[in-house]
Amino acid sequence: MKYVLVTGGVVSGLGKGVTASSIGLLLKACGLRVTSMKIDPYLNTDAGTMSPVEHGEVYVLDDGGEVDLDLGNYERFLDIKLTRDNNITTGKIYQDVINKERRGDYLGKTVQVVPHITDAIQDWIERVAHVPVDGTSGPADVCVIELGGTIGDIESMPFIEALGQFSYRVGADNFCLVHVSLVPVLNVVGEQKTKPTQHSVRGLRCLGLTPHVIACRSTTALEENVKTKLSQFCHVQKENIITLYDVSNIWHIPLLLRDQKAHDAILKVLNLQGITREPELEQWTTMAECCDMLHEPVRIAIVGKYTSLSDAYLSIQKALVHASVARGKKLFVDWVPAGDLESTTAKENPDAYKAAWKLLKGADGILVPGGFGDRGVQGKVLAAKYAREQKIPFLGICLGMQVAVIEFARSVLGLQDANSTEFDPDTKNPCVIFMPEGSKTHMGGTMRLGSRRTYFQSTDCKSAKLYGNKRFVDERHRHRYEVNPDMRMEIVELRNHPYFIGVQFHPEYKSRPAKPSALFLGLIAAACGQLDAL
Ligand code: GLN
């Protein structure tokens, strides 16, 4: 087993996840079996209890793992399915060690960060890396490990120490460190500055890790002399200094790495020079180029509560892009803060109210995503009502489907106080209720989570057709409330409407660049008046 560790320096938000995924893709295109892992040094057991506005979306896996959004990048780039164990957190490691301590595994010993925590980290990495890769019979040849955060963070110290030890455990030929850094240009002098990268590499070395490849984020390609300088000061061969300059869409990143022969640099460190297959990446080249050439717009309004951070809806955005590219349209997303559509905003902040409605009314399609808590729910109900009455293509996901049901009960069935018991426990018309198997005392991992099967009772509906008239579909879930827990209502659809679909599950998690989600494809096609063409 070979390991590629990806670390980040200077600042956060460099796109380490996309870089790590692209490296994985490149190695896969060389004919290797690749898996990946993400280390998040926070104390939460998993991402499930964290705010999407702080940390971006919670990505959900088939096995119900609520994980960091980077696992979504890996699944989309590598087209594999990962498990909850592929996301390591400080919380999981400490829990593991504390459980062992209580069991008496370390009887008589003082339990310490070194060696107990550091051993637990290494054992975890080795165990998970050796699990057979989804869709194949054997383990991966290469495991790409991304270490979250930035070199120097206090909370990642035990992981750095563990990874330093790990490089010795597995041997120099089996361990390659790619450090992602930043080369800024200061306006005053207009020169690409190498000092921040030099400092972060020095930081890495002080902690016992030596980079083999440095991937530099920059606005434009690195100049030759800048590469030479970095090579000299960071003790990394010049051909191993890769430049990741700004590109028009992320599908160019694997191509950028390939063009600079990043795979050769990595394969050499890993003593895999025997792998001579050139990574073609034909499909990615087509998608990257196609995406740049699109000009006919399609506007989708996302009416959500966490619109201040677009990463909060990352998989939804990706799924919309996959579908738009497949339909040959250039996607424009209009972020509509759900609360701004409400009448209280009309009084308190009329400009925001007007702006929100203008965006909603200008959209070709409306998407109401999932969410928790009652802030903005009324705004989402109003968006569903507008879409239903004005016959605007609508896709409601999870909470988005629940508000569509509430809206229908209120406006069409005349049940004025229809609500979800999540927002009004005393409503006389609870049309969305707490599921019997849920827990109200424990929040972590207690929802209905992961892949569940939905059977179509009729194929005479748009969703069944979009899913290719299959008898059932497997999609991922993450919810505590439901429309009818006895019947497990998973999909709602309106007749006599161009496209009005709500789903209890989250189709966005399984959308892939070359295999767009059926329901997103339906939304985009309907928004462009092309649904019949599907
Ligand atoms: N809050 C709702 C529930 O728990 C919807 C969840 C979601 O949209 N993911 O059922």
Per-residue pLDDT of the chain (534 residues), as tens digits, is 999 999 999 898 899 999 999 999 999 999 999 999 999 999 999 999 888 888 899 999 999 999 999 999 999 999 999 999 999 999 999 999 999 999 999 999 999 999 999 999 999 999 999 998 877 778 999 999 999 999 989 999 999 999 999 999 999 999 999 999 999 998 777 899 999 999 999 999 999 999 999 999 999 999 999 999 999 999 999 999 999 999 999 999 999 999 999 999 999 999 998 888 889 899 999 999 999 999 999 999 999 998 888 899 999 999 999 999 999 999 999 999 999 999 999 999 999 999 999 999 999 999 999 999 999 999 999 999 999 999 999 999 999 999 999 999 999 999 999 999 999 999 999 999 998 777 778 888 888 999 999 999 988 999 999 999 999 999 999 999 999 777 789 999 999 999 999 999 999 999 999 999 999 999 999 999 988 888
Query: What pLDDT, on a 0 to 100 scale, did the predictor assign at position 190?
Result: 85
| CA count, 13 A, side-chain hemisphere, 254 | 28
Q: Which of 179, 194, 195 is nearest to 225 (CA)?
A: 194
Q: Is 398 a catalytic residue?
A: yes
Could you tell me the distance, in angstroms and rounded to a whole number, from the CA of residue 129 to the centre of ligand 1? 32
Number of neighbours of residue 152 by Cβ within 10 angstroms: 16
Q: What is the pTM of this model?
A: 0.94
Query: What distance separates the 2 farthest-apart alpha carbons in the chain?
Result: 74
Pocket test for ligand 1, best of 481, 482, 504 (most atoms within 8 A of CB): 481
Q: Which of 38, 36, 8 is nearest to 23 (CA)?
A: 36
Nearest CA owner, ligand 1 atom 8: 370
Pocket test for ligand 1, best of 479, 484, 488, 505 (most atoms within 8 A of CB): 479
Query: What pLDDT, on a 0 to 100 scale, did the predictor assign at position 344?
Result: 94
Query: What pLDDT, on a 0 to 100 scale, did the predictor assign at position 496?
Result: 93
Nearest CA owner, ligand 1 atom 6: 479
Sign of dihedral through CA atoms 7, 189, 249, 371?
positive
Query: What pLDDT, on a 0 to 100 scale, did the predictor assign at position 164?
Result: 96
Query: What pLDDT, on a 0 to 100 scale, did the predictor assign at position 184?
Result: 95
Query: What pLDDT, on a 0 to 100 scale, did the predictor assign at position 6?
Result: 98
Amino acid at 492: V
477 pocket-lining for ligand 1 (C-beta < 6 Å): no
Q: Is 206 exposed, middle or buried (0-12, 13-18, 19+ CB in 10 A)?
A: exposed
Pocket test for ligand 1, best of 302, 398, 419, 434 (most atoms within 8 A of CB): 398
Where are any strands of DSSP class E within 87-212?
87-89, 142-147, 175-182, 185-186, 191-192
The atom number, within ligand 1, closest to the CA of 400 reads 8
Query: What pLDDT, on a 0 to 100 scale, did the predictor assign at position 410?
Result: 97
The atom number, within ligand 1, closest to the CA of 478 reads 9
Q: What are phi and psi of 59, to 5 degrees?
A: -90, 140
Angle (CA) 23 25 28, round 5°: 110
Q: Which of 271, 272, 263 is nearest to 173 (CA)?
A: 271
Query: What pLDDT, on a 0 to 100 scale, did the predictor assign at position 472?
Result: 95
ipTM of the complex: 0.98
Q: Is 234 a catalytic residue?
A: no
531 pocket-lining for ligand 1 (C-beta < 6 Å): no
Q: Is 477 a catalytic residue?
A: no
